Amino acid sequence: MEFGAKTLCALAIAGLVLGLSAAVHADSLTVKTAQGKAQGKTINGGKVKAFLGLPYAAPPVGDLRWKAPEPAASWKGVRDATHYGARCMQEPVFKDMIFQDSGPSEDCLYLNVFTPATATGSSKLPVMFWIHGGGYSAGSASEPRHNGDFLPTKGVVLVTINYRLGVFGFLATADLAREARGAAGNYGLLDMVAALGWVKANIAKFGGDPGNVTIFGESAGSFAVSTLMAARPAQGLFQKAIGESGGAFGHALSTGTLEATERKDGEWASALGAATVAELRAMPAEAILQAATKAGAPRFSTVVDGRLLTEPVAETYAQGKQAHIPLLAGWNRDENSSLAAGMTVEKWKAFAAEQFGDRAEEFLKLYPGETDEQAARSAIDYKSDSFIAFGTWKWIEAHRKTGDSPVYRYHFELAAPPSKFNPGWFAFHSDDIEYVFGTLDTRPGADWRPEDRKLSDEVMSYWTNFAHTGDPNGPGLPVWPKYGAERKLIHLDSPITAGESTVEPRYEFLLQGMPPEQY
């Protein structure tokens, strides 16, 4: 086949245009971080750019196990940033956790950046920094419900992170404290601070504004948000906070003293037969994890370590020394329904007498049980309160009193349709995550309704509006009042309504003392 000169010229121009287009596209997916260049990919039909598995700290292995995170090493060439990094070492704990990474590893300090496809280095978009839940013992940024396909379409840059968990993230012994000038534990929280430092140094290259960062998390992630607000090394690295079901003010995931934690963790470490920290670090990670998850092992969680935290979190808030930033926080209606199964009037009265003694009558006025149905509802309310809601409320109240900043409170109430991991109609613990991320379709077996999708879009707008301005309100949304002395809040239901809180009498009763609850 022969071509004329004009045809050949046209083909050459077309080829040049296609080549330039491909080069421009490739360039838009290549970002130069402080450690080196990274090549991402597009998701959600090209609407969002994703950069996955970026190291924000050195692998905490060998001599770096149980040490504060060190800076990530630089690399040459272009790093493939199209796959999630490994999740942190953990035993399967929660049945609803599904992962998209290659598996667990100590080499797990990676983060992911999701940004609008149109974002450039000069966009200065608000940054939303997600901390996953899992009781400080499980979870990963690679869970599908945390996918970044949709939040960035609301004009934000999303960052999701891994952090050290369980024994690897929170072991505190006297030997470790001596090695680190008196401080031990909280390595998982220190990882979060290191990741925030990485964001400050690098996020502008992805279109984000390092001076407008909102930290947000659910369950343990929400506990972490409340704790980071009190941690002096973290202050200044974020400007807003969102907490979903959790605050470091209750029995669940309580923060221990260093002395008591060193004693219990030290006894556990001694039982492994490792006489020194060096010998403990030389043990295989799998052997340590197996020993740490056996029955009778201590719970490895946060501690007043003397480095990140110099006093209990509640004391910092009481003195008004926490970060004075806008806060949006709340919890779900049915955080824990385990006590409701088979509940009757007689069982509920017996429970009240056993747990509260001479306060039982007052308890039953606040958590009534005149019928079996009412007793079951009160059982859900009490178990949800003692598990997570009471501590979250205390956090909100503490910041309202001393934080000198706007506070917005919510109650998530829309009961989700049954799914693989939720056989009943509940607004259960962690139910809100897919609504916040717009990832409803990642939940196995759920038959979503129009009201679910509408609420998800509204919640996404509230959350991203807050990231933009510190105020969740915006066009087309029901007005969300500020939470002040009058304790107004928003009910996230179908439809959304605003109202005043009615739970204070319950929580004032619980402030007088309640039986210890386990997470």
Residue type, position 4, single letter = G
Residue at 193: amino acid letter: V
pLDDT of the residue at 13: 43
pTM of the model: 0.94
Across residues 93-114, what is the average pLDDT? 95
pLDDT tens digit sequence for 298-351: 999 999 999 999 999 999 999 999 999 999 999 999 999 999 999 999 999 999
Is residue 87 situated within a structural domain? yes
Give a yes or no: residue 349 inside a domain.
no
Q: Is residue 121 part of a domain?
A: yes
- Asked if residue 404 is part of any domain, the answer here is no
335 is catalytic: yes
Does 24 have pLDDT greater than 70? no
The C-alpha atoms of residue 500 and residue 485 are separated, in whole angstroms, by 10
Q: What is the mean pLDDT of the chain?
A: 93
Residue 208, domain CATH: 3.40.50.1820
Identify the pLDDT of residue 22: 40
Q: From the candidates 218, 244, 262, 335, give the one annotated as an active-site residue.
A: 335
* Catalytic site residue from 132, 146, 399, 429: 429
Which pLDDT does position 519 carry in this prediction?
Answer: 33
Do residues 245 and 388 make contact, with C-beta atoms less than 8 angstroms apart? Answer: yes
DSSP structural state of residue 273: T
For residue 517, being part of any structural domain is answered with no
> pLDDT by residue (tens digit) across 451-504?
999 999 999 999 999 999 999 999 999 999 999 999 999 999 999 999 999 999
Catalytic residue among 140, 219, 301, 337: 219
Distance, CA of 518 to CA of 383 (rounded, Å): 11
Question: Domain range holding 174?
Answer: 29-325
494 in Cβ contact with 430 (< 8 Å): no
For residue 274, tell me if it sits in a domain.
yes
CA 290, distance to chain mean position in Å, is 25
* CB-CB contact of 54 with 113 (8 Å): yes
Residue 342: which residues within 8 A CB-CB, separation 6 or more? none
Per-residue model confidence as pLDDT tens digits over 254-307: 788 899 999 999 999 999 988 899 999 999 999 999 999 998 899 999 999 999
What whole-number distance in Å separates Cα of residue 398 and Cα of residue 319? 10
Determine, yes or no, domain membership for 48. yes
Tally the domains of the chain.
1
N- to C-terminal Cα separation, the chain: 76
Residue 229: pLDDT over 80: yes
d(CA 129, CA 215) in angstroms, rounded, equals: 5
Asked if the model's pLDDT at residue 389 lies above 70, the reply is yes
pLDDT band at 251 (very low <50, low <70, confident <90, very high): confident
pLDDT greater than 50 at residue 12: no
Q: Quick check: is 429 catalytic?
A: yes
Is position 3 within any domain? no
